[in-house]
Structure 1
Amino acid sequence: MTENYLKWHSPNLGKDFEMLVFGDSGYPLLLFPTSMGRYYESKDFGLIDAISWFIEEGRIKVYCPDSIDAFSWYNKDITPEERAYNHSCYDQLLMQEVLPRIEAETGYQRIVSAGCSFGGYHAANFAFRHPDKVSYLFSLSGVFDIKPRVDGYYNDTVYYNNPADFMPDNEHADLWRMGIVLGVADRDVTRPQNEQLSGILAHKKIAHWLDIRPQTTHDWAVWREMLPHYISLIK
C-alpha cells in the first residue's frame, strides 16, 4: 500500500509535527496513537496491517498523526493549566492543519475518528467536540475522564476536553447522526469508563454500540480484531 511521511512546522504548536498517511483514496480515517505514542505506532504494532485490505481496496485512507501527550496531559513538569492549554493547541492543529489537508486530498468534509487506549480518548474527545466534522467514532479501550491527569485542577479548558463531563450537556445535532462504537475488552481496566459513557449516550438517546469482547484484555491483539470489524460497518 502507499505510505507517505509528512513533516511540517506547526504554527499552533510552534514546532515541527509528523504524520504517516496510508492509502491513495477512500473515506478518511484519523487514527490516534496510544498514550505518548508516536505517529508510527499503529504501523509498528500491526494495526495498519490488520486494516490493509480496506486501504488497498481504496475504501479508506488512514492518517496517523503524532501525539503531544508528553507535552500535555502526561507532563508532570508543568502545571495542570499548561497541560490543558497545550492539548487545546493540539486540537487547533487538528482542526486548522490536519483536517484541511484531509479534505483537500480526499474530498470528504467529515472523517472517521479512531484510536486505542488513550488514543480512544483523543478520538472521542475530538469527535464529541467537533461532531460536524466526524461521521464515525471508533474508540477501542478508550478513556473518557481526564481529571486524573490534572491533579485536582479544573477550568473550562479541562471541562471542554473531558467527555465524561461535557457530554451530558452536549446538544449538538450531529451527535445523533454519528456512528459510534465503544469497543472494550471484558477484563479491560477501561471497561467502567466505557460503560459510563455508554450510559450517558443512552440517556441522551444517541445510538451507539458498546462492544464488550469476551475473554480479552487491554491489548493490541483485541484492537487488531476490533478495528477491521468496525471499518466494515462504514456505509
Structure 2
Amino acid sequence: MTENYYKWHSPNLGKEFEMLVFGDSGYPLLLFPTSMGRYYESKDRGLIEAIRWFIDEGRVKVYCPDSIDAASWYNKSITPQYRAYNHTCYDKMLIEEVMPRIEAETGRQRIVAAGCSFGGYHAANFAFRYPGRVSYLFSLSGIFDIKSRVDDYYDDHVYFNNPADFMPGNDDPDLWRMGIVLGAAETDVTRPQNEQFSQLLAAKNITHWLDIRPHAHHDWPVWREMLPHYLSLIK
C-alpha cells in the first residue's frame, strides 16, 4: 500500500499543513480525524488497515488531512467569534488547496467525505456546504450542531458551518444525488443528533441511511466495522 506524506505552507491558515495519502488510484476519500486528531490518527488507530483491501484494489485513494480543532472549535482561550472564523479558514484551505490537489492526482472533481466522531462533523459540514463536490458522505458517530462549541455566540461563520441550521434552507439539487450514510452505535452519545438529523433529511425527501449498530459504543471498534461496509456501497 502506497503511503505519501505531504507538507506545505497554507496561505489560508498562515502556517504549515500536513496530510497523509494512501493508495495510487480510485475514488478519492477525504477522511477527517476525530476531535483534535492528527493526520496520522486513522493510520495509528487501524482505520486505514480496516479499509486496506479497497486501497490495494484501487477502489479508493485516501486523503487524511490534519485538523485545526485545537485552534478553532476546541480553543477555549479565544473568543467564539475567532473559533468560528478559524474554522472558516480551514474550510477555505480544504476547498482551495486540498481539493485541487485531489482533482489533479485522481482526475475526479467529486469525492467521498468521511470521518469518525468530530471527524463526522467535518465530513458532513464539507459535504453539505459543497454538495457538487461530494458524491458520498459517510458520517460515523458524527454531530451536526456545533453551537455547543461557541458559548451562545452566533454569526455567519457559525451559521454556515452548522448543518443543523443551514440545511433546512439548503436546496442545492446535488443533495438529492448524494449517497448519505449516518452511522451511530446503539449507546452512542451522538445517536440523538443522528436521529434528529435523519428526520431533517427525511423532511426534505433526501435519501439516506440511518445505520444504528446494535451492541456497540462510540469508539474505534465499531468505526473499523462501519467504514469498510460503507465503502462497499460505492458504485
TM-score by structure 1 length?
1.00
The aligned amino acid for 1:40 is: Y
Query: 1:10: which partner in 2?
Result: 10
In 2, the alpha carbon distance for the partners of 1:204 and 1:52 equals 35
Query: 1:223: which partner in 2?
Result: 223
Deviations 1:45-103 (A, max 9, x none): 00000000000000000000000000000000111000000000000000000000000
In 2, the alpha carbon distance for the partners of 1:208 and 1:114 equals 15
Query: 2:232: which partner in 1?
Result: 232
Deviations 1:103-137 (A, max 9, x none): 00000110000000000000000000000000000
Task: State percent identity of aligned pairs.
Answer: 80
Query: 2:149: which partner in 1?
Result: 149
Query: 1:64: which partner in 2?
Result: 64
Question: 1:26 aligned to 2:26?
Answer: yes
In 1, the alpha carbon distance for the partners of 2:127 and 2:43 equals 23
Query: 1:130: which partner in 2?
Result: 130
The aligned amino acid for 1:62 is: V
Deviation above 2 Å: which 4+ runs of structure 1?
Answer: none
The aligned amino acid for 2:174 is: D
In 2, the alpha carbon distance for the partners of 1:178 and 1:72 equals 28
The aligned amino acid for 2:86 is: N
SS of residue paired to 2:167: helix
SS of residue paired to 2:161: coil
Query: 2:49: which partner in 1?
Result: 49
In 2, the alpha carbon distance for the partners of 1:43 and 1:99 equals 21
- Report the number of matched residues: 235
In 2, the alpha carbon distance for the partners of 1:132 and 1:111 equals 9
Deviations 1:157-196 (A, max 9, x none): 1011001111111101100010000000010000000001
Question: 1:116 aligned to 2:116?
Answer: yes
In 1, the alpha carbon distance for the partners of 2:82 and 2:155 equals 11
How far apart are residue 27 of structure 1 and its match?
0.2
SS of residue paired to 1:171: coil
Query: 2:159: which partner in 1?
Result: 159
How far apart are residue 156 of structure 1 and its match?
1.1
SS of residue paired to 1:168: coil
Deviations 1:1-44 (A, max 9, x none): 00000000000000000000000000000000000000000000
In 1, the alpha carbon distance for the partners of 2:101 and 2:212 equals 34
The aligned amino acid for 2:171 is: E
Query: 2:193: which partner in 1?
Result: 193
In 2, the alpha carbon distance for the partners of 1:157 and 1:13 equals 16
Q: Root-mean-square deviation (CA), in Å?
A: 0.3
TM-score by structure 2 length?
1.00
The aligned amino acid for 1:70 is: A
In 1, the alpha carbon distance for the partners of 2:221 and 2:164 equals 27
The aligned amino acid for 1:135 is: S
**Matching of residues 68-79 of structure 1 within 5 Å:** 68-79=68-79
SS of residue paired to 2:131: coil
The aligned amino acid for 1:157 is: H
In 1, the alpha carbon distance for the partners of 2:157 and 2:205 equals 26
What 5-or-longer segments of structure 1 have no aligned partner?
A: none
What 5-or-longer segments of structure 2 have no aligned partner?
A: none
The aligned amino acid for 1:162 is: N
Query: 2:36: which partner in 1?
Result: 36
